[in-house]
Amino acid sequence: MSAVFFAPRRSLSATAPLLRNIAGPSITRSRTQTRSAATDAAAAAAAAAAPIVPMAINGELVPSSATEFVPVHNPATGALIAKTPLCTLSEMKDALDGCREAFQSWKRVSAPQRARIMHKFEGAIRDETERLSDVITMEQGKTSADAAGDIFRGLEVVEMSCGIPSLMMGETLPGLAAGVDTCSYRFPLGVCAGITPFNFPAMVPLWMWPYSTVCGNSFLLKPSERVPLTSIELWKLAKDCGLPDGVVNIIHGTHDAVNFICDEADIKAVSFVGGNGAGEHIYKRCSEMGKRAQCNMGAKNHAVVLPDADPATVVGALSGAACGAAGQRCMATSVAIFVGSSKQLIPRIVEEASKLKVGPGSDPTTAVGPVISAHARDKINTLIQSGVDQGATLLLDGRHPTVDPAYENGYWVGPTIFSDATTEMDIYRTEIFGPVLTCIAVDTLDDAIALSNRNPYGNGCAVFTESGRSARRYVMEIEAGQVGVNVPI
């Protein structure tokens, strides 16, 4: 099923929101300073002092006995702020046992009563949005506005879950046969589980467990090991709002935790959002176990610009859609296809993107925050270089952007734009997951639709045009799940 979104003709500009600052750790170091034994010792001391993220099991925050950890860094500073444990097998089993036991009583709680708890939870999230936004900015690097949007989009799901009494209604058919009526009911499955990514620490978990639990299931959550703090804070709010112990439990880990969720027969359904490799593995492994699985994976979203498109709309929309959230979202517009003379807009997009300030999310003037890790930064930079090496024209180079010296240890990539790209290049074929826009020129709308449809990804797309006929044709012929008309998805 496709969703189609329309926007009226309008001028969009990517402006940084005027929101509040947050307090967060920072590191300042001269570029010429060499690491000394004292520096190494200080780093070791900081690592030892970093708090270990707890599990949430049966209504309690439980410390893990794990001996291996994943560091959680503030992406804007590189500072270590916490350590995520790789939970032991016995700890994961304890969490699952708690979910299974809680389900036996939770499924008997009336749907209206479950909805009342969600309604309290909705209010708590609203009241705590600023504090939760600060946590997201600290552990993920989002700008304050993007962090608040992350929470709000998850909050919308919680709002919808409050209407579960009507959504769970069954169906009846009297007189199916002589003296026979038929009735259908909706029953919870049991223990469900979710595996969530780093790029939306609030929204994606809130896509999953509020709906699952309000339907009467219990839920085992494994948040991204790189951004576990937001999930713990949301869990604490839900507990304070009356969610019974064990209905939602949280474990931490990487491959072993994922395989545990896939393999345990007591887990009846699994939801995943993340990259293709992990998603394909999870879908296959869950299917082999006979359990339900929904996996939302990679994307390479295309926008088509026709010659009659409104220039201001195109310039503002594409610069923001490519670079917002530092390009770390599955719905980022990473490819722009310019039909005919519309390629004359590319220099204006470059000019607009070059104005976007790169910096910490706590700065209200920042438009592009850091990427999640040094590894992510290096991967993006490598792909940018591959574009140069393979013959694309680098119009705007976001490698090594200028930032405040107090944040020089952060993971920075600025807006980057290529033109003269081809579909054989790595920058086109790979999901870069950074603030990089790849521009391709074609002659006709037919060419643009064919090029888009040949791409293996089909998450979302957009067309920019003043022609209703062209827009309708694009909507009818494009093969993507979500379609925007004069608005990026």
What residues are paired with 70 via a beta bridge? 84
Nearest to 118 by CA among 60, 165, 61: 165
Per the listing, tokens 């939306």 go with 200
130-136, long-range: CB < 8 A, 24+ apart: 130/20, 131/233, 132/202, 132/230, 132/233, 132/234, 133/22, 134/22, 134/23, 135/201, 135/229, 135/230, 135/233, 136/201, 136/202, 136/227, 136/230
SS3 content of the chain, % helix, strand, coil (to 5): 40, 20, 40
Return the beta strands (E) in 187-300 as ranges.
Answer: 191-195, 218-222, 248-250, 267-273, 292-296
Question: Which string of b and e fits 148-175 if b means at least 16 CB within 10 Å?
Answer: bbbbeebbebbeebbebeeebeeeeeee
Rounded CA gap, 470 and 489, in Å? 18
Catalytic residue among 87, 99, 295, 330: 330
Residue 202, amino acid? A
Between the alpha carbon of residue 252 and those of residues 86, 292, 349, 350, the distances in Å are 6, 22, 41, 41
Backbone torsion region of residue 334, taken as left when φ is above 0, otherwise alpha when ψ lies between -120 and 50, otherwise beta: alpha
489 and 483 in contact (C-beta within 8 Å)?
Answer: yes
Rounded CA gap, 207 and 204, in Å? 5
Indicate if 330 belongs to the active site: yes
Rounded CA gap, 402 and 489, in Å? 29
What residues are paired with 335 via a beta bridge? 302, 438
231 and 86 in contact (C-beta within 8 Å)?
Answer: no
3-state secondary structure of 87: coil
DSSP-assigned letters across all residues of 88-124: -HHHHHHHHHHHHHHHHHHTTS-HHHHHHHHHHHHHH
139 and 229 in contact (C-beta within 8 Å)?
Answer: yes
Enzyme catalytic residues? 330
